[in-house]
Amino acid sequence: MKTTILIAGATGNTGLPLLKQLRAAGVPIRAMIHTPEKRSIVEGNTVEVAVGDFKNRASLEQAMYGIESAYLVSPPSLDQVRDQTAFVDVAKTMGVKRIVKLSALGSAPDSTVGLLRWHAEVEDYIRRSGLQYTFLHPHFFMENLLANAGTVKKDGALYSPLGEAFISPVSVEDVAAVAAKTLTEGIHGGKTYTLTGPESVTFADIAWTLGGVIGKPVRYEQVSFDAARKGMIQTGYPDWLAADLVRLMQTWAESRGSLVSVYVERLTGHKPVSIREFFARHKSLFLAAA
């Protein structure tokens, strides 16, 4: 069977669930990984694997041979624009017909957030490439909340600088489900889909919901944006990325993250995962011994 879909970032937050969903549906796919060491994560009887480096044109050409549709995502990087536009150039040369690019909520050329400006720059490059395209703009991933398991077990608390700001987190499973639709259906060209969960909530709401799921109180503790930045650096984030993510959260604190989108349900036919459903699936992580 001919391989038609390439998944860049196939071991990433959205790439791996996308791979699993397409494989379960019997869709022929090729998984692009950055290093051979990640091969065991994606290998299977129905999955081709290609080692592709955004900075190595020959490797991208090999990865895209025979491909009709490609899912484009790369880790946050100061080289994001260069890497992703290189991917687009090779896609055009190799005869790829469609690119589905994972961007982010708030992508705009005049954003105060570097990552959002870079997403907008790549989107504009893709528009001008002549390739068919679809852009996905997801909100905050619910899965990021799992990083709070340690403080919930230790302190009974969630920490965030967002105060009373409303956000509408979305599960990566729902993002992947939308990506699968846009990659396999030919009706999404030129579209941009904002992807959120089914509800707009504060971190106090999230803490209350989590407490109800695990059966013990979880409080919300507001910290400063500077404390959040320092905390990210302590856990290994580069200084530039921690600063940029703080700027992103500040846009949400300015009421730019409260919208609730209909596109997950409209495109997939199922309601997006709620905060309560998400915590119920991962309940054990918040209850295990510290």
pLDDT in tens, 143-152: 999 999 999 9
Q: Which residues of 174-202 are buried (b: 16+ CB within 10 A; e: fewer)?
A: bbbbbbbbbbbeeebeeeebbbbbbbbbb
CA-angle at 32, arms to 177 and 68, nearest 5°: 70
Tell the CATH topology of 145-166+198-257+274-286.
UDP-galactose 4-epimerase; domain 1 (3.90.25)
Residues 154-169 pLDDT 10s: 999 999 999 999 999 9
Maximum distance among all Cα pairs of the chain, rounded to whole angstroms: 57
For residues 171-193, average pLDDT: 97
Q: According to the model, what pLDDT value does residue 222 have?
A: 97
Domains of the chain, by residue range, sit at 5-140+170-195, 145-166+198-257+274-286
| Confidence check: pLDDT of 290 > 60 | no
| Percentage of the chain modeled with pLDDT above 70 | 97
**More confident site: 235 or 46:** 235
Q: Does domain 5-140+170-195 have CATH number 3.60.21.10?
A: no
Q: Which residue has the tokens 């054990």?
A: 284
Residue 274 has pLDDT above 50, yes or no: yes
- Mean pLDDT across 106-115: 97
The reported pLDDT for the residue numbered 3 is 65
- d(C-alpha 76, C-alpha 98), whole Å: 23
pLDDT of residue 1: 46
pTM higher than 0.85 for the full model? yes
pLDDT at 289 over 60: no
Give the per-residue pLDDT at 12.
Answer: 94
pLDDT for 210: 98
Euclidean distance between CA atoms 263 and 217, whole angstroms: 33
Over the stretch 30-89, which tens digit does the pLDDT of each residue have?
999 988 888 888 877 668 999 999 999 999 999 999 999 999 999 999 999 999 999 999
Residue 40 is predicted with a pLDDT of: 83
The 10s digit of each residue's pLDDT in 206-232 is 999 999 999 999 999 999 999 999 999
